[in-house]
Amino acid sequence: MKILVGLGNFEDAYVGTRHNVGRDFCIWLMQKNKFSDFKKDSFLKALVSTGEINGEMYTLILPETYMNLSGVTVKNIFQKWSDVQKEDVIIIHDDVDINFGELKVSRDSGHGGHNGIRSIQQETKDNFTRIRIGICPKTFLGSFKKPHKEQVADFVLKKFGMFERNEVESIFNKAALLV
């Protein structure tokens, strides 16, 4: 069994924001592959859906905590399912240091200032494979447009722009291939 943890904030106001792209991806994946509906798991402090992709079982997990407490859910995964190995867990999240539309896979790397990853590393004392989805827009000329450090928190909580929203499904399709 593979476990995909989609990071984001749980309240409806955050749906479609840059910071929720990991969570939104897991919801999209569930719908596209006809997984079970998400059900609340109080122990995990998360919503959980299960299904199959190409003959392999997957569990999708959406922490029902704010982003900076995501580590509680990931730690509880290993307490609930003792047979789950580190290699079975993939964390999917936004990354302000990657251009919009680009994806990167990381293994055993630092949190890079991402509070959800920082929480996971603090709670589990471990690193996991991560699919990082770029959220920084490009300028009209194609250059990288990263917000200033003091503006990052506001930036990640904004919804994608009109042109970006049209590309999200294409990005999700690329992420699904990585999964």
Give the span between the Cα atoms of 110 and 92, in whole angstroms: 15
Say whether 24 sits in a helix, a strand or coil: helix
In the DSSP assignment, the letter for residue 38 is P
Amino acid at 165: R
Q: Give first-to-last CA distance, the chain, whole Å.
A: 12
Q: How far is CA 139 from CA 4, 144, 154, in A?
A: 32, 7, 19
Residue 111 is among the residues annotated as catalytic for this protein: no
Q: How far is CA 22 from CA 56, 60, 128, 141, 166, in A?
A: 21, 11, 15, 27, 17
Nearest to 44 by CA among 8, 88, 79, 3: 79
Residues that are catalytic: 19
